[in-house]
Structure formats: structure tokens, C-alpha cells
Amino acid sequence: MRAIIVDDELNARLALKGILEENFPEIEIVAENADVPSAVKSIHSFHPELVFLDIAMPGYSGLELLKFFDEKNINFKIIFVTAYAEYAINAFELSAVDYILKPVRIDALQRALSKVNDSKSLESLKVLQSNLDIPQHKKIALNTGDGITFIELQDILYLKADGSYTHFFISNKNKITVSKKIAEFERLEQVSNFMRIHRSHIINLERIQKILKQDGGTVIMDNGDELSISADRKTTLLEKFDSFRF
């Protein structure tokens, strides 16, 4: 697989190239670039199948690379190589794009390369850009059986655990099922107004219609569904609405 490395830091390029050459002989580095304009030239010249792309670079951000190509001519995959903090990592996860953190570790690189042939749409990258631009992430990308479905976070009522699957209940009364455990979506609590109220449910706090205190505690969501609150989460949930109670 032909690949190029795009990073404004020379040491970062050398480190990644060294790891790839020593551990992944199937990857051929055909060019190294320090900025997006030179990377565009390398892509036109060498036609790589894979681009290792830093985000924070002077001039153009790595996220702007695709602006230089017609969508029909984008024949390469991207793995972002980033030093972003936890806030941004949530954005990567919710947007369903491939990334590895600096300093690069062999196991993380192996995982990213093992997934790189999975189809990732341009919409995923647009969602990533949006989620990085604002503190409150707007969308989540869900890998479903027939592709990637993009959902506005405000449209999600709640998530329900079902063994190794999670069901997303959406405001238009649709239900989307993904083959991931609900624990993998707990990061929603960090990036938006969600809370896990029970081992089986993560809810959108903005879509609660009513909280019932009897029988241990129950929330009624905007669609009328009633969900139980765990005893250890009831106080925390009520505290989130203290400033709104009169």
C-alpha cells in the first residue's frame, strides 16, 4: 500500500516513518510533506492509497485537505495522526473516523491499519470538522449493517442496552441498532447533555418530559417511554435540574 505522511513536525514524520518501515513492510512511504499544499502535489504525483495526516498545521489544517479534490477523485484513505486532547478524541470517536494519537504506538497503528479498508464517507469527515469546531458536538456517526448513519444528537431520545447491541431511539420514532455495547457510548456524557441513568439506559436530558419519584424513580421521555432510574443515579439526575426547579 502506497502512503504519504503529512505533518509539519520533522521529528513526528521521522518517528512514524521509522515505525512503519520496521513493523509494517506492506506500507510503502512514497512521500513526506510538511503542509497541505505540498501534500496535494504528492497525491497527484504518487497516487497513494493511504494518507497519514496531522490536523494542526500552519496555513491549512489537515481537515482542509479534501477541499483541494473533487469528491469523485478522492481515491485514498486517511488516518489522522493527532496530539489532540480528550475533548477532540470524543469528536473523532463520535464521527467514526480513523485516528492514532501522538506519540504513535505500534498497537494503535496496527488497529488503525486493520480498519482502514472499511468504507468511510466524506460525510464522516464533515461531521468531524463540525464536532471539532464547537464545544457541544452536533452529530454522531453510527456504523450500521448497510453503512454509516448520521444522527443529530438533539434528535436522540435515549439509548437502550441489549447485550452486545445498543438501540438508539430517535425523535422521529425510528430505532437504530448498532453492534456495540452501551458502555462504548458513555462518552456522550462528556460531550453533550446525556446521562446514564441505569445500566440499560443513557438518556438525552433535554428530551425528558417528566421525572417521577415514586417506585424508585422513573423518567418519561418525549415519546412517552418510561425508563427506570438506578437508585445510585437518582440524586445526581435530580441535581442536574436544581436550577430549574421552583
CATH assignment at residue 34: 3.40.50.2300
Q: Is the pTM of this model over 0.85?
A: no
Domain that holds residue 100: 2-133
**For residue 245, with 0-12 CB atoms within 10 Å meaning exposed, 13-18 middle and 19 or more buried, which class applies?**
exposed
Q: What is the Cα–Cα distance from 207 to 103, expressed in whole angstroms? A: 40
If asked whether residues 19 and 108 sit together in one domain, one would say yes
Q: Helix 86-95 to helix 122-133 angle, to the nearest 10 degrees?
A: 150
Quick one: 160 and 127 in the same domain? no
What is the predicted pLDDT for the residue at 46? 95
Is 140 within a domain?
no
In this structure, the answer to whether residues 122 and 176 fall within a common structural domain is: no
Domain contains 50: yes
Domain check: are 118 and 217 in the same one?
no
26 domain residue, yes or no: yes
Low-confidence ranges of the chain (pLDDT < 70): 84-88, 96, 117-122, 131, 133-137, 191, 243-246
Same structural domain, 50 and 122: yes
In a domain, 77, yes or no: yes
Q: What is the pLDDT of residue 127?
A: 76
Task: Report which of 216, 201, 209 is spatially closest to residue 241, judged by C-alpha positions.
Answer: 209
Long-range contacts (CB closer than 8 Å, 24 or more residues apart) made by 236-241? 236/195, 237/195, 237/197, 237/211, 238/211, 240/195, 240/205, 241/211
Write down the pLDDT at residue 71.
76
CA angle 35, 38, 41 (to 5 degrees): 150
* CATH number of the domain to which 190 belongs: 2.40.50.1020
Residues 39 and 127 grouped into a single domain? yes
| CA torsion, ordered 154, 116, 103, 81, to nearest 10 deg | -60
Supply angle C-alpha 113, 114, 120, rounded to 5.
80
Residue at 139 is within a domain: no
- Give the Cα separation of 176 and 144 in Å (integer): 8
Which residues are within 8 A (CB) of 79 and not within 5 positions of it... i.e. 6 or more apart? Answer: 50, 51, 52, 53, 98, 99, 100, 112, 113, 116
Q: Using an 8 Å Cβ cutoff, are 185 and 202 in contact? A: yes
pLDDT score for 208 = 93
* Residue at 138 is within a domain: no
- Domain termination residue (choose one: 93, 113, 133): 133
149 and 126 in a common domain? no
Same domain, 125 and 172: no
Domain final residue, candidates 79, 108, 133: 133
In terms of domains, do 117 and 151 share one? Answer: no
In terms of domains, do 46 and 125 share one? Answer: yes
Angstrom distance (rounded) from CA 182 to CA 196: 10
Q: Looking at residue 59, what is its pLDDT? A: 83
| Same structural domain, 38 and 75 | yes
Residue 39 parent element (H or E): helix 36-46
Indicate if 120 and 31 belong to the same structural domain. Answer: yes
Cis omega (within 30 of 0) on the bond before 103? yes
Our count of domains for the chain comes to 2
